[in-house]
Amino acid sequence: MPPAPTPTVWTIKALLAWTTDFLKAKNVDGAKLEAEILLAHVLNCTRMDLFVRFDDQPTDAERSKYRELIQRRVAGWPAAYLVGSREFYLLTFEVDPAVLIPRSDTETLVGEAFKRLKPMTAPAVLDLGTGSGCIAVSLAHQKKDARVTAVDVSPDALEVATRNATKHGVADRVTLLQGDLFAPLAPGSAFDMVVSNPPYIAQSEFAELSAEVRDHEPRLALDGGPDGLAFYRRIAAGIGPFLKPNGSLLLEIGWKQEDAVRSILADRPELELGPTLKDMGKNPRVVTAKKK
């Protein structure tokens, strides 16, 4: 593909058009959206504002900052880390390299969880491996009387989750605990629902990941052990005492893991398997179960 001609006047419209073509030539997925996200960040406006301001001419300093971000994006840095945030389930979450970037696929889990929580009164929810807090905070924001306990082994991730809970006004109902899965929970704790998007990439699959995921997102949040199923086994083995009778378990999975994860849960006599939910791409995404 020949390079796009250089405009004589760098309006917002011209900048976006040239940058989109440049990112496409560099094989960056979603080039148009990425160009818009980065420019909106530089100009401190929304993406929608860009289209109203198509004829505006950013300053030399703004163009220089934009050029720097584009260079880092082409070098493999995810756009969410470059701008420090990602939209998820109607909210904007702060992210940095200490946490996994929220994906739209995970909204499948949040939507199903909210549907189940909606008729309950003051439900108690546990989020294992909360990362940025996107699941825990979204549920507390949607279900105004829910009390959510969110656990993560990473203190750096919990700092990000704390800021997100505060930003969205739910810090009084989201308790953040540092530790490994169930370890930091008080004896006798029991929940109406347990949710998790655990690490589920098999160690043998890391070489196949895109460079931006493999080189920039935290391995701690990705590494699911030799076969990618280590955390499902541990959650299934430990959940019994912490889930109330008829309480729900919702686990996000990799799209090839449905049969394996269902088998792990089916082996637990205290659990009753529920349906597997598909994401917007029609891939298996959330395995569900209930405490008998």
Residue ranges for the known binding site for S-adenosyl-L-methionine are 129-133, 152, 197
| Binding residue numbers | 129-133, 152, 197-200
> Beta partners for 278?
284
Could you tell me if residue 177 is left (phi over 0), alpha (psi between -120 and 50 degrees) or otherwise beta? Answer: beta
Composition of the chain by helix, strand, coil, percent to 5: 45, 20, 35
125: CB partners within 8 A, 6+ apart: 113, 117, 136, 139, 146, 147, 148, 149, 191, 192, 193, 194, 195
Output the CA–CA distances (angstroms, integers) from residue 105 to 67, 142, 265, 291, in the order listed. Answer: 30, 18, 22, 25
Q: Is 216 exposed, middle or buried (0-12, 13-18, 19+ CB in 10 A)?
A: middle
| Binding residue numbers for substrate | 197-200
**Tokens 């889930």 found at:** 243
